[in-house]
């Protein structure tokens, strides 16, 4: 009797379903509607040391037609901020959706898995939700591949060293490196020092251009590999999260000659504020130790000592913009392949640079400060369902917002513990009220800071009008200095006005916002 009863229910259900479909205007369309929607893919493009100086950000002298094309099909965030302006902390924070103090990653050495072993990265979360996750190039920091994030080992390209950004093709540079490698081996040092990031004698010079194809350098070669991978990912018939991490425009500025020839060095604008910010505390300025890691800039003065020559400045700016155009071409190849494979319409494409970069501004170079020039970042999001296509969004957003936003766009659960806010509502309405502040920080390590050799942590809050920074002695936890910059009158942050009597109330209000933290700044 039980079997008969179940059989009758099954027949009744089948009859009702057939009647429902038959009564529909088009049975084929109705059956399609009953299937779950296809989940979008994610192409996750990271660019090392890329500041928001691109055509789509209003800089006409920078040649970036492919990134501009992506911006034309997406939303360009003009006021996006990283959580710490140096590679490892910025990337660890973005990938975990947690702020530097939460994951306790403030330097280039710490693996977030040692301080937050149970963290679930954005790629790992997508993997847990049915996505095939894979990556190539620099996504986390060089020394942290994080295998837990990927469905398969990160793609590797034979013939490239551990640190593929410092690859040289000019014969004299190749010979120098070979000689130095032989010396290291003869001295009995560990083999890992041959390719180790930070060994100045292996980086040689800060710029190089050789008439070679794009794939003679790592970023071009990895684009070849990424294009092949896209074909494979399409054939899997499974939604994918594919991360492609580019090394240029990180130093050294080594790219094919054709990208150098896109710029006239004499016409490249020089920095408008090639001087230290007035009244800034000494720990606020970086020491350009990264630039001094190259032989031809090893004797360069620190910002407190002086400036580079105009010829040196023009050379470096030329190399940087040539590197940007080289990466732009690689991004264009990825976008072309997405379209060729008919994947573009169902793929979220996000492009971000891990922090800003100084090209002589504030009399300084590289990253590693709390200033706007270092904390403000490029962020472009092209999502199939977005309404504000081709728009610029000037609302304050942060890198920790990327993780929850991608989850929402893909239709998967947003983890409750994340410390960011999904910016998906802005993709549909760029003008809506949003965050009241963005937060960044930077640890100035003792041996690199002038003049006292102590360690300081600087905490920064960026509001609509102001940037406010408090510097703490990292050992005693005592606050020892502060900075205030009024973007209404000083958009380049050239004069610290924190100690002006008439700014006392402003300082008190911003200090309160800083200590209230990110939770108090989220959109209501």
Strands 397-398 and 75-81, bridge-based pairing = parallel
Cα distance between residue 217 and residue 202, in whole Å: 16
Cα distance between residue 217 and residue 229, in whole Å: 19
SS3 of the chain: helix, strand, coil, percent, to 5: 40, 15, 40
Cα distance between residue 516 and residue 174, in whole Å: 53
Classified as helix, coil or strand, 281 is coil
| Catalytic annotation, pick one of 125, 132, 141, 362 | 141
The tokens for 244 are 């492609």
Cα distance between residue 198 and residue 86, in whole Å: 14
Evaluate whether 274 touches 373 at the Cβ level (below 8 Å).
no
Q: Which residues pair with 80 in a beta bridge?
A: 377, 397
Q: Is 459 buried (19+), middle (13-18) or exposed (0-12) by CB count in 10 A?
A: buried
Cα distance between residue 472 and residue 174, in whole Å: 44
Q: Which residues pair with 469 in a beta bridge?
A: 460, 483
Element (H, E) at 353: strand 347-353
Q: Which residues pair with 45 in a beta bridge?
A: 244, 351
Q: Supply the DSSP symbol for 278.
A: B
The tokens for 351 are 């492009």
| Catalytic annotation, pick one of 56, 82, 87, 366 | 87
Strands (E), 103-145: 132-137
16 noted as active-site residue: no
The tokens for 357 are 């970069």
Phi and psi at 156, nearest 5°, equal -125, 150
Q: Of the candidates 326, 354, 403, 324, which has an alpha carbon nearest to the alpha carbon of residue 42? A: 403
487 noted as active-site residue: no
Q: Report the greatest alpha carbon distance in the chain.
A: 95
Classified as helix, coil or strand, 283 is helix
Evaluate whether 346 touches 38 at the Cβ level (below 8 Å).
yes
DSSP per-residue codes, 353-394? ESS--EESGGG-EES-SSSHHHHEEEEEEE-TT-SSTT-EE-
- Beta-carbon contacts of residue 133 (< 8 Å; ≥ 6 apart): 123, 124, 126, 127, 149, 150, 151, 240, 241, 242, 243
Cα distance between residue 474 and residue 479, in whole Å: 9
Cα distance between residue 271 and residue 105, in whole Å: 32
Distances (CA, A) of 91 to 84, 192, 399: 9, 24, 9
Residues acting as catalytic residues = 87, 141
């Amino acid at each position: 009797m039980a079997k008969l009863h179940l059989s009758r229910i099954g027949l009744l259900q089948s009859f009702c379903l057939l009647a429902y479909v038959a009564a529909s205007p088009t049975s084929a369309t109705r059956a399609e509607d009953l299937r779950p929607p296809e989940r979008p893919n994610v192409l996750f493009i990271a660019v090392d040391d890329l500041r928001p100086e691109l055509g789509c950000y209003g800089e006409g002298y920078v040649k970036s037609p492919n990134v501009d094309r992506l911006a034309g099909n997406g939303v360009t965030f003009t006021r996006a901020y990283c959580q710490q302006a140096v590679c490892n902390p910025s990337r660890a924070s973005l990938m975990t959706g947690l702020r530097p103090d939460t994951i306790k990653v403030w330097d280039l050495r710490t693996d977030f898995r040692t301080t937050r072993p149970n963290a679930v990265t954005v790629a790992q979360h997508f993997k847990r939700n049915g996505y095939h996750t894979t990556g190539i190039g620099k996504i986390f920091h060089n020394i942290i591949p994080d295998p837990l994030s990927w469905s398969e080992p990160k793609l590797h390209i034979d013939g490239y060293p551990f640190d593929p950004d410092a690859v040289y093709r000019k014969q004299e540079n190749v010979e120098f490196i070979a000689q130095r490698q032989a010396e290291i081996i003869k001295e009995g040092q560990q083999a890992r020092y041959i390719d180790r990031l930070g060994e100045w004698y292996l980086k040689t010079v800060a710029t190089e251009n050789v008439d070679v194809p794009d794939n003679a350098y790592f970023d071009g070669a990895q684009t070849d590999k990424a294009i092949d991978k896209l074909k494979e990912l399409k054939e899997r018939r499974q939604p994918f999260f594919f991360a492609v991490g580019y090394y240029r425009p990180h130093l050294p500025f080594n790219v094919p000659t054709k990208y150098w020839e896109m710029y006239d060095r004499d016409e490249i604008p020089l920095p408008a504020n090639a001087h230290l910010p007035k009244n800034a505390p000494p720990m606020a300025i970086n020491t350009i130790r990264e630039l001094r890691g190259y032989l031809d800039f090893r004797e360069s003065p620190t910002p407190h000592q002086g400036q580079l020559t105009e010829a040196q400045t023009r050379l470096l700016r030329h190399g940087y913009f040539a590197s940007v155009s080289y990466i732009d071409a690689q991004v264009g190849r990825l976008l072309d392949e997405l379209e060729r494979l008919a994947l573009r319409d169902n793929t979220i494409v996000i492009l971000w640079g891990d922090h800003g970069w100084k090209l002589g501004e504030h009399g300084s170079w590289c990253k590693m400060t709390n200033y706007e020039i270092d904390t403000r970042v490029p962020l472009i999001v092209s999502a199939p369902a977005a309404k504000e296509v081709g728009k610029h969004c000037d609302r304050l957003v942060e890198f920790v917002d990327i993780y929850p936003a991608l989850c929402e766009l893909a239709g998967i659960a947003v983890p409750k513990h994340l410390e960011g806010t999904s910016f998906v509502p802005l993709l549909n309405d760029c003008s809506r009220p949003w965050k009241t502040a963005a937060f960044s920080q930077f640890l100035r390590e003792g041996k690199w800071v002038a003049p006292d050799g102590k360690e300081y942590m600087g905490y920064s809050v960026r509001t609509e009008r102001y940037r406010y920074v408090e510097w703490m002695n990292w050992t005693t936890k005592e606050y020892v200095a502060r900075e205030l910059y009024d973007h209404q009158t000083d958009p380049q942050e050239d004069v610290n006005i924190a100690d002006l009597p008439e700014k006392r109330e402003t300082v008190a209000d911003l200090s309160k916002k800083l200590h209230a933290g990110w939770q108090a700044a989220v959109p209501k």
